Structure 1
């Protein structure tokens, strides 16, 4: 299967059901799950998944197990004592040879923001890392993680009315331990090539979309939702990645591109302001004029008078 044909899953329940795996341990409505993977695929080993994309986070703690996983065509081996996680948006697949004791935690971005921290990616920017190669930890360090994820699993099975609150607080401790051991000085802006695949794809689509707007092939400016859907990402996740990687909000990218295109048309063409407004997706020229003035301190008409190049 080509990556472009990979299925996108919004929940673990949806993914496992599609793959024909048991879903008894997984609440279809839950935005947080934890279980021993052996209880799901123990009788199906060796097990290989198809290529897929997930719109949620996955944290894996391998006490006794082996295999490998592939993220965006990079393959990493999995050994006993390995900890790794993946975030939304990547093409991924995995193969397990053994999985005697492998704990898996999955959770949505909304769970993180609602139960952990509203500014989760500011406190834990490593969650936006491009690719996290699984790391084999010293036994004493892995045991620290094991104590935490087993406590989380215990609370996950508990009928306590404080269950979610306890889980979220324990998960914060888990994130702090990951940060302490792996990502103390991590800053996604400086990770590898600053123009990550997600950022590059967004910029490419931004340029293409405004070119098509100018050519009349499309009639309105894309929203964040549409840029996210083009990469099979949650809009909030795309916004977080763009802001972390570039230091600039996605709305700012869109605004700057709109203003740049407007200036170019005002300066280098005789197209009417009403037509420019229409090409840039504004229903009313007055709305366009207000928008332009807000970001340039000049009306479109005044800008044209000052900058129009009447070339032969």
Structure 2
């Protein structure tokens, strides 16, 4: 058993307010009337170290670590946080975090709808990196980090203002944040390809993949999509979609689906006490034996043994 009693199922939150209420953290710094938040985490965590439960956040998070230390996990990837670190996580992923020290660490969260309404209506065309599967953090030099600091502190000022144009001003300032991220995180990124038809197909496939597994976990869907289903979602021939995904990502579409299924299974096995039979049904397997064979084929471990080892 892990250090904290595991939940019966993975927690999922549609807003930071929901998350903080469930975790018993203060919410007085959060405006419940908007889908945007910003605050210094030092004002939230008065007792350190702090270790969160594993959860799924259905919103974007951007973290600016001027002075603090800890680590965070998104899906199966764990990264350290240290002074000068900037990172962001996308909706739908399993997350957890630890804070060992906190002095000045600002967190910004916002929904996809806030992005489209107040930042850019074609947000994923202008800032395609927001669809990236897992984004590695970046530790910047102090003089570069200060450029972000000026921006998030100005956003903080607007967030607590009473201006009727508050969201629009926040949106415009956040455009600059995204452009800075694009500049410093994707220095070698070629914007010529952002409008490429094949690139759009890959982005749409990734979005559909993420959404479908969210639907499976929430019970809105009861069977996994086949390649044909992903092709139908974009009105494409299945072979054409498969060729585009392989050529643009270097990974066959079947591998994308398998990797996502295994990642979801691992997180449920490690972070919940949900019976293996129920996990198999959640992931669309009609028989738990089929799930066990599938899992062992791709991990060399049975679900039972994986759960034992993960909790050792």
Rate the CA distance shift 1:2–1:129 in 2: closer, same or farther, 3 A. Answer: farther
Structure 2 Cα separation of the partners of residues 200 and 113 of structure 1: 15
| Offset, 1:201 | 9.1
Change in 2 beyond 3 A, CA 1:199/1:233: farther
Is the Cα contact below 8 Å between 2:131 and 2:207 reproduced in 1?
no
The total of aligned residue pairs comes to 219
Please list the CA deviations of residues 123-162 of structure 1 after superposition, one character each: whole Å capped at 9, or x if unmatched.
0000111111221101110000000000000111111122
* 1:22 corresponding residue in structure 2: 26
Question: Larger Rg: 1 or 2?
Answer: 1
For the structure 1 residues 30 and 38, does the alpha-carbon distance in structure 2 shift closer, same or farther, using more than 3 Å as the test? Answer: same
Going from structure 1 to structure 2, the CA distance change for 1:112 and 1:232 (only over 3 Å counts) comes to farther
**2:165 corresponds to 1:179:** no
Residue 68 of structure 2, aligned match among 65, 70, 73: 65
| TM-score, L = length of structure 2 | 0.63
Equivalent residue of 1:172, what SS? Answer: helix
Q: Which has the higher contact order (CA 8 A, sep 6+)?
A: 2
Task: Give ranges in structure 1 of 5+ residues lacking alignment.
Answer: 204-224, 235-241, 258-312
What residue is the counterpart of 2:300 in the other structure? none
For 1:56-135, list aligned pairs within 5 A.
Answer: 56-135=59-138
Q: 1-side partners of 2:33 and 2:207: how far apart?
A: 34
User: By how many angstroms is 1:6 displaced?
Assistant: 1.3
Matches within 5 A, 1:288-307: none
Quick check: 1:252 aligned with 2:257?
no
Across the aligned residues of Structure 1 and Structure 2, the Cα RMSD in angstroms comes to 3.4
Residue 40 of structure 1 corresponds to: 44
Q: Which residue of 1 aligns with 2:147?
A: 144
* Gap change, CA 1:233 and 1:33, over 3 Å in 2: farther
Runs of 5+ unmatched residues, structure 2: 221-226, 240-312
SS in 1 for 2:145: helix
